Chain A
């Protein structure tokens, strides 16, 4: 780089860039300078004074973490005076932390039951600390070579342990008040669930009025635990266990594609999940699902052997018998009678093979990933701009000046995406939330619009019209890059804004304000899902959002663009490799003759030409008897969460059902063959996240029982046994090579290229004598964001920087209309559930559950009504009412809220409640049993 400057640390010259701090430059160059409050990814804090250095020609001992580099700077880090100063700083720190063991020469050979010759009390001994062997503090003390005795007195703080909250154990007797957790919560997560309390000798970390984390706005992401340098904050599960191996994997729970490090013990059990600091998608962050939702990997009720139905009972069988049975039965159902549904935690290679199996071996286009319930969100992107994917990288959102979140529960569904959104908001960007539910981001929103259900499209029309009226559309840009917008403009000019306001029940000023914020803020971006949008409006809503981005020219720059919020981990990959009905790998619709013939030529086989049916249709077709045989790869949350209707009874109608599953699921009773399936942590392949980043996944460990197999192996075996062409694969590399030939966006992608896209990050391994501070760093796998530029193997972080692949972008003109859902006379209202981190003015009492010894939230629900509805239901503020929904009842106190549209009753829960529910679950998909935030039909019953 031309702007390199050179500094020297203890005589070693290193190159660095202006703007960096000396500590960062040192870490980059592999020179260790001790630090405790600094943490990569957070702003320097300069509180612990552990990284003090001296600079030739400078005065005093500045902290390296806040000392900007300057050309020719000569830093002394290992000089005697500096080391002495650090030791005396450390003496003050260990006066606040148990230190009897820190300075003991027997520390490495001491066991928990050893008699301590130095009379260190049990509370204060390192062997009884959960962070023993992975404690940054201890390593730093030892690095400094402290004297055996500290001149300062230490007294145990006698603080009670905080062990009643979900997932976390907190022991503030061990806290050194470095502030990493407070800063992680505030700076990185944007939550402010914890703060510094008191001062001087009593300064610690805590919450307002000492409340439990359940009431303080904690989202239980674990970020504070990950940065704690001592044993103060630890995960409760496997608290005392030490990792023997650390293996990277990718989180199976959502399409952010967080790179996680699994800590494994000797028995190959996963004991802890630590998000990877160098991962481009998650940057050291995870969420409650990734951090605490992988416990299922340790379940010992894994399916170990294939099961075959014999005489009505599922009996254990060998793989050979099971495969033979499937291969002999499936040919009966060639064509439309066959369907294949894959879980979204399949790799790209598996999904490619799955679609190939369905299409080539079975001649059926009935295939899908189970989480693909909002296909229109992807199709609209393709229709409007050319690629069926998000336009930008996740962390580009940090640079946005305005972000519109449309009907997406980002914080729960794609948690890490909420981080750059909150960071942008903190930086001063505007946030607009359009959602009738109270989702977490509404707390951060400058503008929160709650349109009446069914009128969302009209509201978008209103905003688009305001964009035009206020002259915020980029006419020149649109003229240069888009097809003629006149149809859209015509539709927009036909809108009556007064009517839009009255129908959507969103004030006209708010609509104008939303348009102004989005159009006039600079770089604006859209994050959207189609949650609770009526089926017939989904396509047009998504198109209207694409129009919004195009009209305002928010394309092709960091901070602009549009992001679909999806559910399944590898849903993007499924779209890319064509594991979707009516979508060929990389070539659009199966019905498109040219595309199909092209593909047939490449693959030397013939492909079915019908539309095929997707997840929802497949189940309906199974119930009606059109689909007679089905292969389910993975029992997905989407089968159990009710969004696909009554899956169980639909599957019952099948003549032949094969399920590959990790655990025996409730679908086993209707299956003819049940096959043990590997988890994502045991798989080899690639996954594509929502920012089009193809990431390499390697098995963290072998499938424990040895009996479970991945879908890759299964599909290759079955394809070969059915005599289909093109199933002679033995490694994922070979499949990726074929994908690269078939899918234009993947051209140039190979395992070799993916491995090369990594970079070496400085690390000190488990056995390294250096402090643990860079323990989890390693080789950073950047992955490659498709499309890959030809020849160079470089990805494309931002799409459409110069042009669109379809020559001109399409401003699709939706007919801005509303859907008036036929109200069920039994349930005339709709309940809009919400979930937030914190409810300040709510009476939440926390009670200790006697049986589990855990905190639980006890409170009265507050049911929010529009004034008109309150009148209609004859309830008034403060009344206690019951709201009945099919399947559940809610009791609560009425509160009037004028921001609610008529016909909607809102109720808002807490993340804490979710955490309590999740803690005791070992579900493979943690959210499967947790009620989502779907609108429910409801009626009101007044209580006497």
Chain B
């Protein structure tokens, strides 16, 4: 068995475990997908198959759910994740310039993943810290009172700390 196959088997094992060990009493396609997302950070093709089998549904049934929720990822997550809030409070005190500078620092035009897989940028409608608006988060750590300069700084720090950064 080749290395690729072993990696695949490992992935399948993790998916199986995640799907089978759901603590809550009601298990659905959605809950199974969330369990996989928690485990892997995304929903690979194998997971769609496994969730379908586990819930006695078809892969297309499962896909209808996966694609319905924009928050499910179907490709592996990037190393880091930055979320910029553009909810009403942040918007009023200047979220849009922050977003513009964050995107510029990452070399992107819109939310999404960087091509090198280092960084995911997502807009968020509320990070729950309106008193600190405008807010962004780096790998789920909140940072408040962001200015465009501070945003740019955080992005370049994050990019530098990415493992691929030195290479």
Which residues of A approach B to under 8 Å, CB–CB?
192-199, 206-209, 216-217, 838, 840-841, 878
Contact = CB atoms under 8 A, between A and B. Distances in A.
Contacts of B67: 197-199, 206
12 contacts: A192-B58, A192-B61, A193-B60, A195-B61, A197-B63, A198-B68, A208-B62, A209-B63, A217-B59, A840-B49, A840-B59, A841-B49
B1 interface: yes
Given A209-B45, A878-B1, A195 B68 contact: no
Nearest to A185: B60
Contacts of A192: 58, 60-61
Contact of B60 (A198, A207, A841, A878): A207
Contacts of B61: 192, 195
Contacts of B1: 878
Contacts of B45: 208-209
B48 A208 contact: yes
Nearest to B1: A878
Contacts of A207: 60, 63
B151 to A, nearest CB: 29
B103 to A, nearest CB: 22
Contact of B59 (A196, A199, A208, A878): A208
Contacts of B63: 195, 197, 206-209
A216 B1 CA distance: 27
A208 B45 CA distance: 9
A132 to B, nearest CB: 30
Interface residues of B, number: 16
With most chain A CB atoms within 10 A of its CB, the pick from B60, B61, B62, B74 is B60
Interface string B47-65: 0110011000011111110
Interface string B9-23: 000000000000000
Given A208-B63, A209-B48, 8 more contacts: A195-B58, A195-B61, A195-B63, A208-B48, A209-B45, A216-B59, A217-B60, A840-B59
Given A209-B45, A840-B49, A878-B1, A199 B60 contact: no
Q: Which 6 A-B pairs have the closest CB atoms?
A: A208-B63, A195-B60, A192-B58, A195-B64, A197-B67, A208-B59
B47 to A, nearest CB: 11
Contacts of B62: 208
Contacts of A217: 58-60
Interface of B: 1, 45, 48-49, 52-53, 58-64, 67-68, 74
A196 B48 contact: no
A192 B45 CA distance: 17
A878 B68 CA distance: 38
Nearest to B63: A208
A754 B139 CA distance: 75
A840 B63 CA distance: 14
Contacts of A216: 59-60
Contacts of A840: 49, 52-53, 59
A877 to B, nearest CB: 8
B157 to A, nearest CB: 35
A207 B45 CA distance: 12
A319 B62 CA distance: 63
Contacts of B53: 840
A196 B74 CA distance: 17
A217 B49 CA distance: 13
A192 B52 CA distance: 12
A881 to B, nearest CB: 16
Contacts of A197: 63-64, 67-68
Contacts of A194: 60
A197 B72 CA distance: 13
Nearest to A878: B1
Nearest to B43: A209
A209 B74 contact: yes
A679 B45 CA distance: 47
A123 to B, nearest CB: 25
Nearest to B68: A199
A196 B64 contact: yes
Nearest to B67: A197
A878 to B, nearest CB: 6
Contacts of B68: 196-199
A199 B67 CA distance: 8
A209 B42 CA distance: 13
A206 B52 CA distance: 17
A878 B1 CA distance: 7
A707 to B, nearest CB: 50
Nearest to B65: A195
A197 B48 CA distance: 14
B33 to A, nearest CB: 13
A195 B60 CA distance: 5
Contacts of B59: 208, 216-217, 838, 840
A911 B135 CA distance: 53
A169 B94 CA distance: 48
With most chain B CB atoms within 10 A of its CB, the pick from A192, A206, A208 is A208
A195 B48 CA distance: 14
A217 B1 CA distance: 28
With most chain B CB atoms within 10 A of its CB, the pick from A193, A195, A199 is A195
A771 B159 CA distance: 60
Contacts of B64: 195-197
Contacts of A208: 45, 48, 59-60, 62-63
A194 to B, nearest CB: 6
Contacts of A206: 63, 67
Nearest to A191: B58
A560 B82 CA distance: 62
A304 B157 CA distance: 82
B77 to A, nearest CB: 17
A209 B62 CA distance: 10
A840 B48 CA distance: 10
A409 to B, nearest CB: 22
A500 B53 CA distance: 32
